[in-house]
Amino acid sequence: MINNIFFIIFPILLYQMFGALGKRNFFVSHRVTLTILFSISIILCMVFPYQIMTDQYIFDLRQVPMIVGALYGGPLVSAILFLVSAVGRIAIGGDGMYIAILNQFVVALGVPFLRPLYMRINRLEKVGLVFVVSILSLSFNAVAGYFLFGDPFHDVVGIWLMLMLNQGAIISLAALLIEHILRQEYLLSSLVKHEKLETVSNFAASVSHELRNPIQSIKGFVQLMKEHEYSRDKQLEFYDTMLSEIKAADQLIEDYLVFAKPVFAKLETVSVKTEVEHVVKVLKPFASWQKVEIQLLKNGGDAHILADRQKFHQALINIIRNGIEAMPAGGTFKIQIKQSASKVAIILMDEGIGMSKEEVQRLGEPYFSTKSKGTGLGMMVAYSIVRQMNGEIGVHSEKGKGTVFNVEFPLV
């Protein structure tokens, strides 16, 4: 029985270990993975069944992934899980085969109808519902097996009640576990969203400030041309300057909008250098507003890593933004990309206020902030994104001197 419980819990935990940030609603929207994981559960449960109370009755917990899978995945997942368990059950053969397959069919057909209801109710009601479904399914087995196939009616109290409590408890546990994981993901992704909104609104002021320059310069030229008569050559020169100012303003808005826009997660191979350059561009208005110059130190290599572009930007922006904010009197923020045989490191250096050992240790802890208007979420988001990308963040900081972040990723 412990084996069976393990086969059910393990794929769910496996998902939690590998589930990527932002894959919210995984059990609802990643049906393929769900189907594969639960099919493995079903097969393992059937291959290693257990006996309950007496030698005559062999039992396994395959109904748990079937019911839970149908509830979270819907009709198609349910149909595939039915096929897997039916084929498995036929392969095992034996007396109870027909009733078992009939039962699986009824479960696979009926449970998806409960899905809309299931998605609406709260956690406790969900646990109650899966418990009831599980008991109904076992009762169906007992009663239909007896009447339709003349299966022996095992001792009701001794076996069926035990089975019902047994399977009911485990299916409730599985549902609770999934709900718990979903809730954690929901919280994490809303924190990420919150942090991004915070950054976006924080940048808005600096972007509009930065837009003032090209607009002022265009305004100046228009006034000049209105007041004086210029030669055609001079005019053309003015037009060119104005055009390039307009282009710069346009590009600024474009970069900002691309950053602000929410997009769906997509993993792709990206060039570290190109992405870092893009991030520098997005941060430039904010940096110059804080009198900070961002320097991207020259280097040769063009390393590629696997990343969700937007998330990668977000992680870098959160770290660099902290560095800029750590230099209230302005300064230089240096970025260097270093490639080794299997890794690429992005080194982010500020010459700001630095951190004490305790502060470095608390970095990444949610809501840890030393700023009056800080959220304390930026580093938590950065750490979780980098971890999802199989990367690592190293920090070296000295109070009053500055901070170096070393963000490493494996190469593709």
**Where does this chain bind Mg ion (CB under 5 A)?**
322, 378
> Whole-number minimum distance, CB 313 to ligand ADP, in Å?
15
- Residue 369 partner contact from Mg ion, ligand ADP, none using kind-dependent CB cut-offs of 5 to 8 Å: ligand ADP
- Please work out, in degrees rounded to the nearest 5, the angle formed at the alpha carbon of residue 383 by the alpha carbons of 380 and 386: 150
350 binds, among Mg ion, ligand ADP, none (CB under 5 to 8 A by kind): ligand ADP
> What are 327's two structure tokens?
């230099």
Please identify, using beta-carbon distances, which residue of 42 and 404 lies nearer to ligand ADP.
404
Which strands form 343-350's sheet, in the order they lie side by side?
A: 292-296, 331-339, 343-350, 402-410, 392-398
Q: Report the alpha-carbon distance of residue 224 to residue 237 in Å, rounded.
A: 13
Q: CB 211: neighbour CB atoms within 10 A?
A: 17
Q: Exactly one of 375, 389, 391, 407 binds ligand ADP (CB under 6 A); which one?
A: 375
Residue 386 contact, options ligand ADP, Mg ion, none, Cβ 5-8 Å cut-off depending on partner type: none
CB of 20 to ligand ADP, least distance (A): 21
Q: Which one, 190 or 271, has the nearer CB to ligand ADP? A: 190
Residue of the chain from 49, 75, 110, 374 that contacts ligand ADP (CB under 6 A): 374
Tokens of 96: 């109870």
* Six token digits for residue 102: 């009939």
Q: Give least dist CB 303 to ligand ADP, A.
A: 23
Distance in Å, CB of 389 to ligand ADP, minimum: 18
Residues contacting residue 235 through CB under 8 Å, at least 6 positions apart: 225
Residue with tokens 């646990």: 127
Nearer to Mg ion, 195 or 210 (CB): 195
Dist CA 370 CA 365 (whole Å): 12
199 binds ligand ADP (CB under 6 A): no
CB of 367 to ligand ADP, least distance (A): 8
Which partner, ligand ADP, Mg ion, none, binds residue 355 by CB below 5 to 8 Å per kind? ligand ADP
Handedness of CA 176, 182, 184, 186 (dihedral sign): negative
In the complex, least distance from residue 126 CB atom to Mg ion, rounded to whole angstroms = 37
Helix or strand run (H / E) with residue 407: strand 402-410
Distance of CA 125 to the CA centre of its chain: 27
Residue 370 binds to ligand ADP (criterion: CB under 6 A): yes
Residues 133-172 that bind ligand ADP (CB under 6 A): none
- The one of Mg ion, ligand ADP, none whose footprint includes residue 375, by CB under 5 to 8 A per kind, is ligand ADP
| Percentages (nearest 5) of helix, strand, coil residues in the chain | 65, 15, 20
Near ligand ADP by CB under 6 A: residue from 3, 33, 369, 406:
369
Q: How many CA atoms lie within 13 A of 326 on its CB side?
A: 26
- Which stretch of DSSP H or E encloses residue 212? helix 162-227
How far from the centroid of its chain's Cα atoms is residue 172's Cα?
25
Total of residues contacting ligand ADP (CB under 6 A): 23
Please report how close the Cβ of residue 263 comes to ligand ADP at its closest, in angstroms: 22
Q: Provide the 10 A C-beta neighbour count for residue 331.
A: 18
Least distance from ligand ADP to the Cβ atom of residue 272, Å: 20
Phi, psi of 276 (to 5 degrees): -65, -40
Residue 221 touches which member of Mg ion, ligand ADP, none, C-beta under 5-8 Å by kind: none
Q: Is position 403 an interface residue for ligand ADP (rule: CB under 6 A)?
A: yes
Interface map 52-71 toward ligand ADP (x if CB under 6 A)? --------------------
**CA atoms of 150 and 197, how far apart (whole Å):** 65
CB 306 within 8 A of CB 267: yes
Q: How far apart are CA 77 and CA 70, in angstroms?
A: 6
By CB under 6 A, name the one of 315, 378, 385, 386 that touches ligand ADP: 378
> Shortest Cβ contact with Mg ion: which residue?
378
CB of 143 to ligand ADP, least distance (A): 59
User: Which of positions 321-360 make contact with ligand ADP (CB under 6 A)?
Assistant: 322-323, 326, 350, 352-355, 359
**What are the phi and psi torsion angles at 98 (to 5°)?**
-65, -45
8-state DSSP, 48: S
Residues near ligand ADP, by CB under 6 A? 318, 322-323, 326, 350, 352-355, 359, 363, 368-371, 374-380, 403
